Amino acid sequence: MEAILQNVRQVGARGLGAPLVILMLLAMIVLPLPPFVLDLFFTFNIALSLVVLLVVVYALRPLDFSLFPSMLLVATLLRLALNVASTRVVLLEGHNGPGAAGKVIEAFGEFVIGGNYAVGLVVFLILVIINFVVVTKGAGRVSEVSARFTLDAMPGKQMAIDADLNSGLIDQDEARRRREEVTQEADFYGAMDGSSKFVRGDAIAGILILMINIIGGLAIGVGQHGLDIGTAMHNYVLLTIGDGLVAQIPSLLLSTAAAIIVTRVSSSSDMGSQAATQLLENPRSLAIAAGLIGTLGLIPGMPNLVFLLIGGALGGMAYTIRKRQAQPEAVDEQLPVLPEAEDAETRELSWDDVQPVDIIGLEVGYRLIPLVDRSQGGQLMNRIKGVRKKLSQELGFLIQPVHIRDNLDLAPSAYRISLNGVPVGEAEVYPERELAINPGKVFGELQGTPTTDPAFGLEAVWIDPGQRDHAQTLGYTVVDASTVVATHMSELLQKHAAELLGHEEVQQLLDNLAQSAPKLVEDLVPKLLPLSTVLRVLQNLLSEGVSIRDIRTIAETLAEHAPASQDAVTLTAAVRVALSRAIVQQVVGSAHEIPVIVLEPGLERLLQQALSSAGDDAAGIEPGLLEQIQVALADAARQQEMSGQEAILLVAAGLRPWMARFARQSVPGVHVFSYNEIPDNRQIKVVNTIGRQSTQG
């Protein structure tokens, strides 16, 4: 058996499986087959249908058997080819008796229907009606509706994947896998919508083949072989009914499999486990059913014994389930042995009583504890780990662990995020509901609790989980409570990345660089620069959203410019020039032309003179002028945002550090570049000029 399976795998691996199946089907249609070969193929057809049905029953979700639509087509063609081959044998050899077409057809004609072709005809028609009117029609309708709703929900699912990717919950490979799964799901239900037509056509073909075989068999038996009408009816009709039953039973099995797979809901358990859990978890239903059946069993004239037996069995099951649910679950825990408590007055204080503040802290209300408890299915810990991994890869240094604790002073559904013991963000989430976020363009409204997304400030609605598919169809991005918290934390950590970088992290970066460039690190720290200056430069870069992943280029630039200046601001400007390609690529992508906002030359000279006289401080600039610059810059940034472009302010190199701080505090989202930070392979396009009216005021 192992050798046969190995040969089958080798044939499939070489791409010969499909051509061999097609050749086999053509041979069955064209070449006359002996009765023994027909018996072999009929038995194989029944076995194939059973295998397919059982695979569908034990599949956890429809995509686990994505080959089913193609398998349904192949099985249908196999049955039709068998019908052609068996029809040839029945019409040629039917005058010799019911055993002329093989043992399988004879068994179904003699044993299954007792040799009575009238009974066989009725049984065959009933099977065809069940298959055609009930199973196939219902499965086809479900496939059609599932395909339509799956296609409508695709944009929302894609946006949810993008949201998880942007928040660091998943990486690029997982996002790619999920997108492929969404595409496969749409393809699967679309294929199932078409495949159901095969089964429906097969049922119609079964009726037509039955009528043709009976008419043709009677004509051949009476006209060519001289049989009387009774003998001809007995032989040919029994053979035709047996042939039809042999084909219809596998057809009914495959139709049932198609109906099951399109009505399945993805789950972590198979169909049998779901039925046992969901049907038998409520003893009240069983008890009521037992009472009704038992009452019917007490009515005179009813089959009392049967009804009472079934009613007693249902009652016993209800009693057993209720008794099992009433028993407390055994908990195998050992209480810890506590040491003797010391007298608080006699115990001396120590440095252990002085707890350092958490670099990154998360406090949750008591209703959010299940989100962080893995034993209760909480996913927030895994989501936060994903956020740390993503930010560490993007920013270039390891994000510290997040310390999570409950806080009874918070609202039950509230959480608070703190950095170095200082709160930087808080909001409320509802673990039993999901957040539908309006990304800017939706096609309807949702029933729920209006709110605002804490991470990006977008309009959102808290909805019941049952509205998820409907919300995605309308264009909303739907996420659960854990994702909301993790995304909020990701945005805050990225915004405050400079505060997370300390001396230990910088030393670790240099130690890692020393493994590949030991001489560079040896000459840089502490010969040319102290570690504190390197830290300050890296913090300046992070505060402006520049990644420090390219630590080698940063170290080489610092080593080159350190002999001329020890000032962190000057060194930061030099490093930005060295990283200009990466910085511009991060902001505008691969666009050759960069749209920029510039300052009017007179205003730029005025600001430079004021800063040079005030020592890089805005004290020498009139407050009214600063307000006018802020308003004009905000208007220009808003225009760029409406046109779908990033707001980039281009200024002189000496003015850029102060202007970057000013924009970061007053107009968030504006990127400030100096002229020498624009790479040679890029061109600039001035789209707005700030200051013409400001200099006149």
Model confidence over 42-59: pLDDT tens digits? 888 888 888 888 888 878
Topology of domain 356-497, CATH: Glutaredoxin (3.40.30)
On the question of pLDDT at 215 being above 70, the answer is yes
For position 195, what pLDDT does the model report?
Answer: 72
Residue 596: per-residue pLDDT: 94
CA distances from 123 to 113, 200, 564 (A): 8, 19, 99
* Candidate from 106-115, 234-243, 270-279, 420-429 with smallest mean pLDDT: 270-279
In single-letter form, the type of residue at position 267 comes to S
Q: What is the mean pLDDT of residues 275-283?
A: 63
DSSP state of 359: S
Distance CA 556, CA 657 (A): 21
- Kindly tell me the burial class for residue 632, based on how many C-beta atoms sit within 10 Å of its own C-beta (0-12, 13-18, 19 or more): buried
Average pLDDT on 671-682 reads 92
In this prediction, residue 546 has a pLDDT band, given cuts at 50, 70 and 90, of very high
Tell me which of 98 and 165 has the higher pLDDT: 165
Q: For residue 482, with 0-12 CB atoms within 10 Å meaning exposed, 13-18 middle and 19 or more buried, which class applies?
A: buried
What DSSP element (H or E) covers 648?
Answer: strand 648-651
CA distance 45 to 78: 8
Q: What is the pLDDT of residues 394-417, one digit of tens each?
A: 999 999 999 999 888 899 999 999
What percent of the chain is modeled with pLDDT above 70? 84
The pair of structure tokens assigned to 615 is: 């020592």
Treating both helix axes as pointing N-terminal to C-terminal, what angle do 238-263 and 117-129 enclose, rounded to 10 degrees?
20
In this predicted structure, what is the pLDDT of residue 78? 83
How far apart, in whole angstroms, are the C-alpha atoms of residue 407 and residue 367? 11
Among candidates 49, 53, 104, which has minimal Cα distance to 79? 49
* Average pLDDT over every residue of 432-452: 90
Distance of CA 390 to the CA centre of its chain: 18
The residue type of 629 is I
pLDDT value, residue 695: 38
- Tens digit of each residue's pLDDT (9 = 90 or more) over 309-349: 888 888 888 888 877 776 544 444 343 444 444 454 556 77
Question: From the CB of residue 497, how many other CB atoms can be counted at a distance below 10 Å?
Answer: 24
Residue in this structure with the two tokens 């040919």, named with its chain if needed: 236
Could you read off the pLDDT of 218-249 as tens digits, one per residue? 888 877 777 777 777 777 777 777 777 777 78
CB 509 within 8 A of CB 551: yes
What are the structural domain ranges in the chain? 18-265, 284-322, 356-497, 501-578, 589-697
CATH (residue range 501-578): 1.10.8.540
pLDDT given at position 529: 94
Q: Could you give the 3-state DSSP secondary structure of residue 364? A: strand
pLDDT tens-digit readout, 471-503:
988 889 999 999 999 999 999 999 999 999 999
Amino acid, res. 263: T
Residue 266 confidence (pLDDT) above 60: no
Class of domain 589-697: alpha beta
What is the overall mean pLDDT for the chain? 81
- Among 93-102, 334-343, 579-588, 605-614, name the one with the lowest average pLDDT: 334-343
Q: What distance in Å separates the CA atoms of residue 427 and residue 457, rounded to the nearest whole number?
A: 11
Which pLDDT score is estimated for 341? 45
pLDDT digits (tens, 9 = 90+) for 595-628: 999 999 989 888 888 887 766 565 567 888 888 9
Residues 6+ apart with CB under 8 A from 560: 574
